[in-house]
Amino acid sequence: MSKIPKSHPRYNSLMTREKIKNAMKSGIVHETGLIAHGRGEAFDYLIGESTIPPAENAEKAAAACLLLAKNPVISLNGNVVSLSAKNCISLAKEIPAKLEINLFHRSEGRIKKIIHELKKSGAEKVLGANPDAKIPGLDHNRGLCEKEGIYSADVILVPLEDGDRCNALREMGKKVIVVDLNPISRSSKNAKITIVDNLIRSIPNIERWVKTLKKQDKKDLENIVSNYDNEKMLREVLKFISKRLNSLF
């Protein structure tokens, strides 16, 4: 671990880089996960590295949608586990939802390491090691999944998605919630609910909303979901970014 002084103005960001770098060295994060992280950092910079109002609304709608689900699943990849394993486990327990590993760069070695990491962080059951189903229309390894998990899920939370799978899951009639700092990615445009926030902030925010909304009637939760408009929310994010950039100088 590199020594980073707490007084450094970018201490949190540098510590996150250290975390993801070490997870890459231990085989949890794929090399290209570092590139994906860098793209995320750039967008995080644009929104001011904090949860912006449209993201907070999306997090609330996501919590309502997850609470209404019959078989909700949280899909995990290398980056997510390296940065948010404990938070995802805690959210899964609170909903409750299943956890399933789904990797773009799938190898048995990485699956084992990620399961080990999740168990070490407190997870009980983790799906994904024994895929017995395939998402139709996806030729790559992200199509592999388990019948009791992603395949039969009605709502899937995907912190960090690639556009192809988001589309394929929606084609299967599933509600896909993505966390993606890039508001113009294919996943962001195609998801039912897009949370333009860093997954490090977003997962605890969703859990906070789950705890609050649990006390509400089913009808109230349905209203939150049906009043949510993803396209409108994405336009608000773009407006927020341009206003923020215009006010900087």
Q: Residue numbers of the site for ligand PTJ (CB under 6 A)?
A: 30, 32-33, 36-37, 39-40, 43, 77-79, 83, 103-105, 160, 162, 179-182, 185, 198-200
For residue 37, give every residue at least 6 positions away whose Cβ sits within 8 Å of its Cβ, in sequence order, or none. Answer: 17, 20, 79
- Can you tell me which residue has the tokens 């799938």? 106
Give residue 165's Cα distance to chain centre: 13
Q: Which is nearer to ligand PTJ, 167 or 185 (CB)?
A: 185
Q: How far is the CB of 133 from ligand PTJ (least distance, A)?
A: 18
For residue 249, give every residue at least 6 positions away whose Cβ sits within 8 Å of its Cβ, in sequence order, or none. Answer: none
Q: How far is the CB of 197 from ligand PTJ (least distance, A)?
A: 7
Q: Which is nearer to ligand PTJ, 39 or 125 (CB)?
A: 39
Q: Name the residue whose CB lies closest to ligand PTJ.
A: 40
Q: How far is the CB of 103 from ligand PTJ (least distance, A)?
A: 4
CB of 88 within 8 A of CB of 74? yes
Q: Which is nearer to ligand PTJ, 100 or 162 (CB)?
A: 162
Q: Which is nearer to ligand PTJ, 65 or 187 (CB)?
A: 187
| Three-state DSSP string of 32-93 | HHHHHHHHHHHHHHHHCCCCCHHHHHHHHHHHHHHHHCCCEEEEECHHHHHHHHHHHHHHHH
The β-bridge partners of 159 are 179
Q: How far is the CB of 2 from ligand PTJ (least distance, A)?
A: 20
Can you state the angle between helices 78-94 and 108-120, rounded to 10 degrees?
40
Q: How far is the CB of 249 from ligand PTJ (least distance, A)?
A: 25
Q: Which is nearer to ligand PTJ, 180 or 207 (CB)?
A: 180
